[in-house]
Amino acid sequence: MQFETTTVDGLILITPELIVDDRGLFAKTFSSEEFATYGLRESFNQSVLSYNPLKGTLRGLHYQVEPFHEVKLVRCARGAIYDVVLDLRPQSATYMQWFSLVLTVENRKMLYIPEGCAHGMLTLKDESEVFYQISGEYDLDSTRVVRWNDPAFAITWPMEPAIMSERDQNSPLYSAENT
């Protein structure tokens, strides 16, 4: 696996190294030993799948506050998504900055998202699936949402979302007091 830093502190782009032959391909997508070498979390408590039948579906920007912060490892297992990570750690050098990347089944890239960052995605194709490995357990009282179009961040999206939850659509504008 190749590990690359991004413009957001602690956010790592991971590209699996493909072994290709007549049968197809083989690639390692996680190794606790390699993650430890880069100072990344070496274990995850849960794996989840997000299936999105229609292009233009927006999920996020979601995160959990202390003591339920989560590290996430995200990859697109089918289709394509525009993935966004927003740094909400006041002590971070990249506080309130965001990073985006198109993740596809073809490019097989993954994002290692550090705790304290919000995560969101917009599907670019019908029938998109996203696979997450998450460090913590879900805690409803600790969940927060940053509005996808909050002017405090001026996130550039490739298209206007067509589908989103009521919670994502009506979330309040960001306030540092809620983190």
> What is the CATH number for 88?
2.60.120.10
Tell me whether residue 40 is in a domain: yes
Tell me whether residue 158 is in a domain: yes
Range of the domain at 149: 2-174
pLDDT at 175: 81
Report the domain count for the chain. Answer: 1
Catalytic residues: 62, 132
Helix (H), strand (E) at residue 32: helix 32-37
Tell me whether residue 129 is in a domain: yes
pLDDT at 74: 98
Tell me whether residue 179 is in a domain: no
Taking residues 122-134, what's their average pLDDT? 97
Tell me whether residue 157 is in a domain: yes
Phi-psi region of 140 (alpha: psi -120 to 50; beta: other; left: phi over 0): alpha
Taking residues 19-24, what's their average pLDDT? 92
Tell me whether residue 59 is in a domain: yes
3-state SS, residue 162: coil
> Could you tell me the CA-to-CA distances from 31 to 1, 16, 27, 36, 44 in Å, in that order?
9, 11, 11, 8, 12
- pTM score, whole prediction: 0.93
H helices, E strands: number in the chain: 2, 13
**93 pLDDT more than 70:** yes
Q: What is the mean pLDDT of the chain?
A: 95
| 31-69 CB burial, b ≥16 within 10 A, e <16 | eeeebeeeebbeebeeeeebebeebbbbbbbbbbbeebb
Residue where the block lists tokens 């073809």: 106
pLDDT at 25: 85
